[in-house]
Amino acid sequence: MERKYMKRALDLALKGQGSTKKNPLVGAVLVKEGQIIGEGYHKKYGGPHAEREALASVKEDPRGSTLYVSLEPCCHYGKTPPCTQAIIEAGISRVVVALLDPNERVGGQGIKELRQAGIQVDLGLLEEEARKINHPFFRRLRTKRPYVISKIAMSLDGKTATSGGQSQWITSQASREDGHSYRALADAILVGRGTILADDPSLTNRSGWGEDPIRVILDSQLATPLDARILHLDSKAKTLIFTQVQDPKRLEPYRDLGAQVQTVARTKGGLDLREVLRVLDQEEVGTLLVEGGSTVHGSFLEEDLIDEIVIYQAPILIGGQKARPAIGGQGLASLKEAINFGPLQVTQLGPDLKIVGRR
């Protein structure tokens, strides 16, 4: 019974996927005398929290009801007022919480406040499930930067193109559609200039749900052609170009086309990715999808900035020294430095394998 309500809260929480940016996914269910009298979830970054959404949906008197919520109610003033206050004012008598909010401004304090107000609080129902759906949020609190998902489509032998540069298509349509849905999940999508030159992508979200992500190009020499598709889109999301070029005269034509151009320092591996991630964090990016190409994947790997790797592996062999590898750059020098993404999650997708690993 109890589990059923918390499971519902978790299902509701997932509806916020793709829209909560730097905030966690949270769902809440209000139960009175064995009946669900209200439900809600955190729909949008900056918008009301799950608890307040659930309370707003209630038609009858919520006094004496039990609240099931997938994350500890907050007790701080952020973009919204504290949920604990709304819960106490509504006269809720019991709160069942799946998991503590690791946010240093909450961290157990929310529960303490509820208990001090005489509310019974039970902690830990479906805790593991709750932790799993918010893995990016937890990781972000630790790394203090956007959660980075690197996506790769490759052959059985790890190639992303033939030696002649042909890459369309290595993986099946089923894989490509699945991969595309990450654009709805992510708040920003990043590619290198090489990908712009090779494919002229629009980097929009055409999955049928969610919004367009911010489009990010790494272009140290600022050589993206002014007629590139990405600079002429009808999209609410902005295009952001990172470069080492400082000369305002060279930045101007891109700005005239509506792109935001930002100069960042160079490190030995290329543009300073930590600086790039700081700027994206200021843009409220919670999840960044890195789509390549191989040099860009190499730079993120060498800086140990990949939080999740998503690989679509086709059952074909390409071979060849010159055929492009999934991850380029210098690579890590010793096996001791190699980064472990296990345990892997492997699924069959049409003829291909989808392999997901996380830090």
Nearest residue (CB) to Zn ion, 10 versus 280: 10
331 and 299 Cβ atoms separated by less than 8 Å: no
Contact between 287 and ligand AOF per CB under 6 A = no
Tokens at 148, concatenated? 């980075």
Catalytic residue among 39, 51, 72, 308, which?
Answer: 51
Contact between 42 and ligand AOF per CB under 6 A = yes
Active site residue 60: no
Nearest residue (CB) to ligand AOF, 24 versus 292: 24
Provide the CB-side half-sphere exposure for 245 (13 A, CA): 18
Contact between 83 and ligand AOF per CB under 6 A = yes
Tokens at 323, concatenated? 């055929």
- Interacting residues with ligand AOF between 48 and 67 (CB under 6 A): 49-51
Angle at 152 between CA 266 and CA 14, to 5 degrees: 100
One of 19, 65, 103, 150 touching ligand AOF (CB under 6 A): 103
244 binds, among Zn ion, ligand AOF, none (CB under 5 to 8 A by kind): none
Contact between 136 and ligand AOF per CB under 6 A = no
Contact between 92 and Zn ion per CB under 5 A = no
The rounded distance, in Å, linking the Cα atoms of 96 and 221 is: 54
12 and 24 Cβ atoms separated by less than 8 Å: no
Q: How far is the CB of 74 from Zn ion (least distance, A)?
A: 3
**Contact pattern from residue 169 through residue 198 relative to ligand AOF, giving x for each residue in contact according to CB under 6 A and a dash for the rest:** ------------------------------
Contact between 301 and ligand AOF per CB under 6 A = no
Contact between 49 and Zn ion per CB under 5 A = yes
Contact between 112 and ligand AOF per CB under 6 A = no
State the residue number with the nearest CB to ligand AOF.
78
With a CB cutoff of 8 Å and minimum separation 6, the contacts of 130 are: 10, 70, 71, 98, 99
Nearest residue (CB) to ligand AOF, 103 versus 160: 103
Nearest residue (CB) to ligand AOF, 77 versus 169: 77
Contact between 74 and Zn ion per CB under 5 A = yes
Nearest residue (CB) to Zn ion, 89 versus 256: 89
- Interacting residues with Zn ion between 150 and 189 (CB under 5 A): none
Residues forming the active site:
51
Instruction: Return residues touching ligand AOF (CB under 6 A).
Output: 23-24, 26, 42, 49-51, 71, 73-74, 78-80, 83, 101, 103, 106
